[in-house]
Structure 1
Amino acid sequence: MKHTHTHTQRTRHGRGPARRIGRSLALVLPVVMVLSGTLAVTRVNWSGSGSSPSVLAASDVSSAEVAHRPKALAPHEVLRDKLLVELQEKNPGVALTHLQQAVNGRPSLARHCTSIAHALGRAAVRAYGPSRAQSYARPVCDTSFATGVAAQHT
């Protein structure tokens, strides 16, 4: 009785049809995904206005237009600006309280807390004078507010 090992030899050496299909997919699928993703991104209306579904090509925007566009502010810069206005309109104590609440509510802002508190301290000296500004000092962000007051005063 003679047994042929044709089937076991093909699968053992990886030359079966499933292996060929798998290799073809492994080569073609990433290319298809990248191209379809690129096309999808160019079709999305990133401006936020729903008026025009046009596609923006890179050649449609001049370098002068790009250079004169206002940059979007980072979340910590928006918070800093808001708190500086609040310091002017109300007082540094309110701004420091809101800074602490913002950092507690959004921990990603914690690494910017000291620079924001320092800026609030400097602004408080300009608005209220060194003695009155120091009276608002709190242990928010490791006394960075007080450091900002001292730095502006000297």
Structure 2
Amino acid sequence: MTQTAARRIGRTLALVLPVVLVLSGTLAVTSVPWANRSTESQMLTASSENVSVRATPRAPHEVLREKLLADLQQKDPGVALTNLQRAVESRPSLARHCMTIARDLGRAAVARYGPTRAQSFSRPVCDTSFAAGVSQQAQGA
């Protein structure tokens, strides 16, 4: 046997052997009787029902909205509006969502405090969108 023939055999084994080992290991695992001993072989299958779904990352304005609504419920709308103003000042990218968040806070304030008391918390944050939300919710209530 020449040195070239030995190299060819070695290269062939180096390519084929890992594939054979992986396939034989996979086949061995899929045919093991895991739970039920009455069945001779039980195939291991993946089920989409048991796969956990990764949570999609939420946008910063959605996180802020939830935090501010919680502030409104736990404290008062004034605290939530102050925190909204500070958040927009520290992250200018949130400014385009400021009006909708303030309007949502106004609606939530009416649901919690009633239209008259909710209006007393109004301040000029995000072009008076809080007051607009209070007004819209009061008209619909």
TM-score by length of structure 2 reads 0.61
Larger Rg: 2
Paired position in structure 1 for 2:28: none
For structure 2, the residue ranges without an aligned partner over 5 or more in a row are: 1-45
Match of residue 149, structure 1, among 117, 134, 137: 134
Equivalence for 1:129: 114
| 1:47-126 pair list within 5 angstroms | 65=51, 68-126=53-111
Point out 4+ residue stretches in structure 1 off by more than 6 angstroms.
Answer: none
Deviation, 1:71, is 2.3
Output the aligned Cα RMSD. Answer: 2.1
Against the structure 1 CA distance between its residues 64 and 144, is the aligned structure 2 distance closer, same or farther, given a 3 Å change threshold?
A: farther
SS at match of 1:72: coil
Deviation at 1:63, TM superposition (A): 9.9
Measured in 1, the distance between the counterparts of 2:128 and 2:51 equals 42
**Deviation for aligned residue 1:150:** 0.7
Partner of 1:93, secondary structure, is helix
The letter of the residue matching 2:92 is P
| Identity rate, percent | 65
Q: TM-score if structure 1 supplies the norm length?
A: 0.56
CA distance in 2 between partners of 1:74 and 1:119 (Å): 16
Question: 1:110 deviation in Å?
Answer: 0.2
Letter in 1 for 2:137: Q
**CA-to-partner distance for each residue in 1:59-85, whole Å, 9 max, x for gaps?**
x9x69958x443221000000000000
1:63 and 1:95, CA in 2 relative to 1: closer, same or farther beyond 3 A? same
Equivalent residues, number: 94
Q: Distance in 1 between matches of 2:128 and 2:50?
A: 43
Q: Which amino acid aligns with 2:95?
A: A
Distance 1:93 1:84 in 2: 11
Distance, in Å, in 2 between the alignment partners of 1:64 and 1:112 is 37
